[in-house]
Amino acid sequence: MVQIKIGILMKPAIHPAYNEVRVHCACGNAFSTRSTHRGDISVEICSNCHPFFTGKQKLMDTAGRVERFRRKYAKKETPAAPAKS
C-alpha cells in the first residue's frame, strides 16, 4: 500500500495506469504528456497553432453592434404633454 503525507492509505489495484503518451497535432507539432489513454493521441489544434495562444486571434469590433443594440432598444422619449391653459 502507498502512504501519502497525511497518513491515508491509497487502495492498491484500483487506480488506472498513468502512461506517457505522444500527442500529434494536425499542424505537425508533437509533444509528450502523461495520460490514462493508451497509445498516441491525435488532435486537430494545439497551443502552437491555436489563435488564442499564438496572439493572432481576431477580435470582433463590438462597438458598432452595441451602439446598434442601444439605438434599437432605447426607450423612446414621450413628447411632453401640452401645457393646459
Give per-residue burial for 18-27: e unless 16+ CB within 10 Å, then b: eeebebebee
The per-residue pLDDT for range 42-55, each reduced to its tens digit, is: 888 887 887 666 66
Kindly report the pTM of this predicted structure.
0.47
- Say how far apart CA 24 and CA 44 lie, in whole Å: 9
- Say how far apart CA 27 and CA 42 lie, in whole Å: 11
User: Is 3.40.50.2300 the CATH number for 10-71?
Assistant: no
Q: What is the mean pLDDT of residues 10-27?
A: 87
Q: How confident is the model at residue 21 (pLDDT cuts 50, 70, 90)?
A: very high
Q: What is the mean pLDDT of residues 29-39?
A: 91
